[in-house]
Structure 1
Amino acid sequence: MTDLTGRTVLIAGATSRSGLVAAQTLVDAGANVIAVGHDPVKLEQLAARLAADAAWMTEACDLTDERAVDGLAERLHAQDVRVDGVLHLVGGWRGGGGLAGQSDADYRVLERSLTALRFVTRAFEGDLRASSAARLAMVSSTAVARPLAGGANYAAVKAASEAWMRAVAQGFAKAARDAAADLAAASTVFRVKTLDGLEQALADRFVALWDEDAAEVNGTVIELAAAA
């Protein structure tokens, strides 16, 4: 089993079912977990479901607010906490109605996941680059490769998010080259058709990224599918 003892992993959007499973799986692997969400009540509910002696902490933060995200990073750094991993689970779905039904209001709601990804990765990029083994991952959708008119907003936001993750991957690789060092940080995209039923598979695959060479998974897209 992967040993993440001494590693600190931040879960962005941790109050979902997939966030709970990921938090518990990371704790079981020995990681220190920072569960971040915007709803303090849901964070309390999450905390109540994790083992009492688990190495975790919760942080309430609006991840679409740049100043709030920067403040979160500053609070953690003031406590001498540096992250070795980030799992981005901020998402949601709005769609339907063909192309004519792709409202700007729906797009703005969906865009919040990309906004959060941008703010979180910028705030913690220094931590990830400084780590001896850092892993960053987000959950995308198979809709990026096979978009439908009724999900055009959703697919567009996910495609933009994947492009951002590839840019982060290039930044990791360039920093390692410039320092004449081995690549230690990796940015990876997980694509799913739906997360329903794949929560544990996602958590396990994210943890397993630490067993792989950073150069092998940096900038890659990994599709997760339900077992046949």
Structure 2
Amino acid sequence: MSGGALNILVAGGSSPSGVAVARALRGAGHAVFTVGSDAARIEAAAAAAGDGVVPLACDLADPEEVRGLHADLLEGTGGIDGVIHLVGGWRGAKGIADQSDEDWDFLARNAITTLRNVSRTFYDDLAASGTGRLAIVSSTAVANPTAAGATYAAAKAAADAWTLAVADGFRRAQAGHKEEPVEQHSAAVIFVVKALVDDAMRAASPERKFPGFTDVEELAAAAVGLFGTPAAELNGRRLPLSR
């Protein structure tokens, strides 16, 4: 565990949660690179997150683009210590029969394909870092799926499984290594929320109470906390942020 400045990638940085997480990590003294597929949007989001947050445009669903992103970051930083993966989205329906292929393709691309591409490409960086961290945001719907949200819950469950597999890879290479075990220093974790809320959502619907929702600032604080918590306490854990 390191108390120094780290190089952290925020994937899905154009969202309100991406802005909040990037701002908090930058405020904690880290070098923050925030990534989105639309150049104008990610530049605006980085500016909103504060001075020093570096915007990068990349289609994270395209493995070639992700490899190019990694090469550029490796040359500029020497390696990435953390990835906070916030790419996602929501699609729902009335029940099982009307779950559409279009919704599945959208959620599979955003929740699963982007995570696979990013985690595979940056895996060695995170495994080599003294404070390597991968975090995703999952949903309480994984444990309690509904017919209307079947596609969403299934995509989130797949992302969870992939992240736990990354955690197992970190464990086997470090504390669980059979011949030369070392102190666990890399961790993959899952933040679990019902849904996220931000000030703009509250302003747009002042009559709503958003029960059980997690504020993006709470998520941001939890992301910062990952880098000050021993990896052995984090790796493979689901961390509930829902109220």
Interval of TM-score (by shorter of Structure 1 and Structure 2): over 0.9
Partner residue in 2 for 1:211: 228
The ranges of structure 1 where at least 4 consecutive aligned residues each deviate by more than 3 angstroms after the TM superposition are none
**Structure 1 segment 100-119 matched on structure 2, within 5 A:** 100-112=97-109, 113-119=111-117
Cα distance change, pair 129–114 in 1 and its aligned pair in 2 (3 A):
same
Partner residue in 2 for 1:169: 167
Partner letter of residue 166 of structure 2? V
Measured after TM superposition, the shift of residue 4 of structure 1 is 5.4
Q: 1:66 aligns with which of 53, 63, 86?
A: 63
Structure 1 unmatched ranges of 5 or more = none
CA RMSD of aligned residues (A): 1.5
Secondary structure of 1:118's partner?
Answer: helix
Match status 1:24 vs 2:41? no
Q: 1:138 aligns with which of 112, 129, 136?
A: 136
CA distance in 2: counterparts of 1:163 and 1:51, whole angstroms: 34
Partner letter of residue 25 of structure 1? A
CA distance in 1: counterparts of 2:123 and 2:141, whole angstroms: 28
Match status 1:223 vs 2:223? no
Secondary structure of 2:71's partner?
Answer: helix
CA distance in 2: counterparts of 1:212 and 1:29, whole angstroms: 14
Return 4-13 or 16-25, whichever deviates more: 4-13
Match status 1:184 vs 2:182? no
CA distance in 2: counterparts of 1:50 and 1:17, whole angstroms: 10
Percent identity among equivalent residues? 44
Cα distance change, pair 4–28 in 1 and its aligned pair in 2 (3 A):
farther
Partner letter of residue 7 of structure 1? L
Measured after TM superposition, the shift of residue 99 of structure 1 is 0.4
Measured after TM superposition, the shift of residue 57 of structure 1 is 1.2
TM-score between the two structures when normalised by the length of structure 2: 0.88
Partner residue in 2 for 1:199: 216
- Assess if the C-alpha contact under 8 Å between 1:95 and 1:101 holds in 2: no
TM-score between the two structures when normalised by the length of structure 1: 0.94
Partner residue in 1 for 2:148: 150
CA distance in 1: counterparts of 2:21 and 2:49, whole angstroms: 11
CA distance in 1: counterparts of 2:168 and 2:157, whole angstroms: 17
